[in-house]
Amino acid sequence: MMNIKDIIKVNKLEKSVLEGTFGIEKEGIRVDDNQKLALTDHPELLGDRSYHPYIQTDFSEAQLELVTPPEHSLKETFKWLNALNDVMQRSVESDEYIWPFSMPACLPETEQIPIVRVRDQKEVAYREKLAEKYGKKKQLISGIHYNFSFSEQFVKKVFDHQTEYDSIKEVKNELHLKLARNFLRYQWILTYLYGAAPFAHHSFFEQDKEETPLTKPVRSVRNSSMGYHNSTDVIVRYDEVAHYVTDIEQLVAEGILSEEREFYGAARLRGNAKKIDHLNHTGIEYVEFRLFDLNPYSKLGITNEQARFIHLFSILMIWIEDSKAKEAIKEGTERNEQTASEDPFAKSAYYQEGMELLKEMRAIANELKVDSEYFEVINQAVEALEDPSQTLAGRLTQQIDSIDQYLKVGRKLGTQYKQEAKEKPYLLNGFEGMEMSSQLLLFDALQKGITVEVLDENDQFLKLQYKSHEEYVKNANMTAKDTYISHWIMENKTVTKKILKSKGFNVPDGEEFQSLEEATAAYYKFKNRSVVVKPKSTNYGLGISIFKNSPQEEDFKEALEIAFKEDTAILVEEFATGTEYRFFILDGKVKAVLHRVPANVKGDGRQTVRELIEQKNMDPLRGTNHRAPLEKIKFGNVEALTLKEQGYTFDSVPESGEIVYLRENSNISTGGDSIDYTDKMHSSYKELASRMAVPLGVKVTGIDLIIPDYTKPSTPEDPGYTVIEANFNPAMHMHAFVTEGKGRRLTRDILEMLFPELY
C-alpha cells in the first residue's frame, strides 16, 4: 500500500498536496414571517430548475439548494457562494427568508408539506417514495455538502513516485478511497466541533411514528439517530471502487434503495456522470462530504475557518494510517452518532483521540508550511475540544434556552442575512471588485440559470453558456453582436461626427487639435463663443470642460491642459444649448433615456461648498471608481474652475436653496445625479437615436443628445437636438439605480439579446 506521507515528504510535494478542487452545496428552507414553512412556489425569478446549474430545490418546493461550480481554491469557492447567496436572498418573496438552522422551523401537517413542483414527473415520483419511506419532515433537514478532490498535478506526482499502481486513475481512486474511509472513521470530531443542530421544533416529530420531542439539547439532531439516514442494513464497502459500485447497485436491485442517489453516506464517491457504474470506467472525480450542519452564525451556512479546517482534515486523512477494515467505518459511524447525541456541554467521549488527531494536524501544518489561518483554526479546535462551550452547539445552547427562543433567534438571523444581501443591490458579493455593470450582468445571468465562467475578472471578461450556445461578454455589453470597427468608430469622436453628419444628423461644429500649442494659438477663434473642450477618445466624461460664456484665455488654456491629460488629441466644439440626455440603444431600440444633472450641491445658508459636498457624498448610493450607482463629487481642478465661473470657491457659503454646480458636463461618473426620462421623452427623439445606431453599425450604444425641449417633437424644419457623441460600452448601472424615476435593468435586455431562446 502506498505510503502517502513518505511520498509527500521525500519528493517535496508539500505545496502540491494543498492544491485541490473545491465545491460547496448549501441547502436551506424558505419560511414566512411567522417562522412557518413557506408553501409558495419556487421563486419565479430563479429561472428554470430543469437546467439551472446553481440554484435548485432539494426534496421540498420550499427547500432551496445552492451549488457552487468547482474551483481550485477555497477563496474562489466562497466568492461563488457569496454571489449565489445574494442572488437567492434577493429573489425570494418579500415576506419570506431562508431559515438559518439545519433543523426546520414550524412545520405544517405532513400532507401540507409540498414536494417539488417540477415538470419532470420522475423527480416528483422519486421524492414521493422518499416521503413514504422516511417521512416528509425528515427530508426537510438541511445542511452543507463539502466537495473535495486532490489536484490532478498532485495525483500525477504521486503516481510518478510509486510502484504499486499501473495508471493515474488507480492512484487517484486509492487516494480518494483512503480519504473517504478515514473521513468516515474520524468524522465524529467534525460533528463535535461543527454540529449546530441542538434543537428541533416539536412539529418536526411525528406522533404517529411514536417520535417524541427532545427534552434536552444535543450536539446535532441531524447527525443523531433522530436525523435523516439510511437504514442500518445499508452497508457499502470503501475498499475498492468496484465494491462500492456493486454494493450500491445491489441495494437498488434488492429494493432497499429506490435509486442509487438514495445512498446517504457521509462520504460519497462521485464521478463525472450521474450513473454510479461510470466510476468503474472513469474513476473517482471527487468525494462529497455530507455530514455538516448549517452554521447559523454564518450567512453562508459555513465559514472560511470551517472550510480551511475541513481542507486540512482531508489531508490528514490520507497522511495517517488507513482505516481500511469495514469495522473501522462502522465504528466511525457509531462514534459520530454518539457524539451527535451528547450534551453540548459534555466533554467528548473520544477526547483523547481528538487531541491526537489535532496534534497530528498541527504537525502536518508545520510540514506543509501552511498559512497562519490554518494554525488558527487548529488552535480554535483544540480550545473547543478542551471547552465544549466553544463548539457551535455549545454557543447555541448558551444563547437559546427554549424552543420559543430558538424560533426568535432563527428569525433574527434569517431576516438579518436577507437584509444584508439587499442593502447594496448594485453589488454582487464575491465579485464586488468588478465594474458595476458587470456585476449586474453576472447577477442576472446567475439568477436566470445561465452558466457563467469568469475568464478574466480584472478585464471584466465573461463566458456565458446555455446548453451548447456560448457567448463572450466584456464589460457587460461588449459582445460578438457588435462589429470590431464599430467600437473604433465610436471611440473616435471626430469620426463619429463625420459619419452622423453625412447621414443628415445634427452635430456641433468644432475643430480637432493634436498639440497644446496648436490649440492655445487658436484661442482667438473661440474667445467670443460658448464652447466645450474635451478629449477626442475617452469615455466617462473625463477631461471635459464646458464654457457656457466666452472663456477667458487663462481658463481656456487650463481646460486644454486638462483635456490633453486624457488623450493625445482634443476637440473644441460649439456649446449646444439645452439639456443633455443619454439614450441607451440595444438592438435598434431605445431601452432607456436618462437625464444626468451635473454635479451640484444645494446651499443652506450655513455650510460651505466643501461641507455640502462632503454631506452629499455620504449618500450610500455614492461611491468611487464606478463602484456605486452615483459617484462621489471630487475636489479637483475642473470642479474649482467650474466654481470660479459662478463666482465661488470651495470655501464659499451659498444662500439657502441656491444650486451650485461643480461640473458643467453631466456625467454620472463625475458626480452627477440621474433622472429617468424613458417614458417622458417624446418618441421622435427615441426614433432619431435608434436611427443613429444604424450607420455606426452597432447593436449597443449610448447616444448623448442635447435637447432644449423634450416634449416638443423633432421635425426636419426644427430638429430640436444636437448629437454630442456616441459611446461604446455605455454604463448600464446608472439606468438601474436612479436618483429619480424608474430604474431600468438593461443587463437583462443584454442577456435577452444574447439568449433569446430563454426569454
In whole angstroms, give the CA distance from residue 80 to residue 294.
17
DSSP letter, residue 140:
T
In whole angstroms, give the CA distance from residue 441 to residue 424.
15
CB–CB of 495/726 below 8 Å?
A: no
In whole angstroms, give the CA distance from residue 343 to residue 329.
24
Stretches where the chain sits below pLDDT 70 are 1, 538-541
The burial of 61, by beta-carbon neighbours within 10 Å (0-12 exposed, 13-18 middle, 19 or more buried), is given as buried
How far apart, in Å, are the Cα atoms of 581 and each of 574, 673, 721, 737? 17, 12, 10, 16
What is the pLDDT, as a whole number, of residue 538? 67
What is the pLDDT, as a whole number, of residue 666? 74
633-659 b/e (C-beta count within 10 Å ≥ 16 → b) = bbeeebbebbbebeebeeeebbeeeee
Q: Which of 730, 691, 726, 687 is nearest to 705 (CA)?
A: 726
In whole angstroms, give the CA distance from residue 738 to residue 267.
49
Domains and CATH numbers, the chain: 4-423 (3.30.590.20), 509-574 (3.30.1490.20)
In whole angstroms, give the CA distance from residue 111 to residue 696.
61
Which is it for strands 700-707 and 722-727: parallel, antiparallel or unpaired?
antiparallel
* Amino acid, single-letter form, for residue 514: Q
CB–CB of 345/218 below 8 Å?
A: no
CA-based diameter of the chain, in Å? 97
DSSP secondary structure, 207-275, as one string: GGGT----SS--SBTTTSTTS----TT-----S-HHHHHHHHHHHHHTTSSSSGGG---SEEEE-SSSS
Q: Which of 266, 239, 268, 236 is nearest to 252 (CA)?
A: 236
Give the angle 670-658-617 at the CA atoms, nearest 5°. 35
Reported as a single tens digit per residue, the pLDDT across 590-649 is 999 999 899 999 999 999 999 999 999 998 889 888 778 999 999 999 999 999 999 999
Which is it for strands 630-631 and 622-623: parallel, antiparallel or unpaired?
parallel
Count of H-run helices and E-run strands, the chain: 27, 23
Q: E strands of 568-614, at which residues?
A: 570-574, 579-586, 589-597, 600-602
The C-alpha cell at 206 is 411525528
Q: Which of 471, 464, 463 is nearest to 450 (CA)?
A: 464
In whole angstroms, give the CA distance from residue 477 to residue 728.
9
What is the pLDDT, as a whole number, of residue 289? 99
* 673-676 sheet: strands from edge to edge: 673-676, 589-597, 579-586, 700-707, 722-727
522-531 b/e (C-beta count within 10 Å ≥ 16 → b) = eeeebeeeeb
In whole angstroms, give the CA distance from residue 21 to residue 73.
7
What is the pLDDT, as a whole number, of residue 1? 65
CB–CB of 410/199 below 8 Å?
A: no
pTM over 0.95: no
Reported as a single tens digit per residue, the pLDDT across 148-196 is 999 999 999 999 999 999 999 999 999 999 999 999 999 999 999 999 9
Question: What H or E segment, with its residue span, contains residue 408?
Answer: helix 403-423
Give the angle 27-745-591 at the CA atoms, nearest 5°. 155
Q: Which of 94, 67, 65, 281 is nearest to 169 (CA)?
A: 281
CB–CB of 518/726 below 8 Å?
A: no
DSSP letter, residue 634:
P
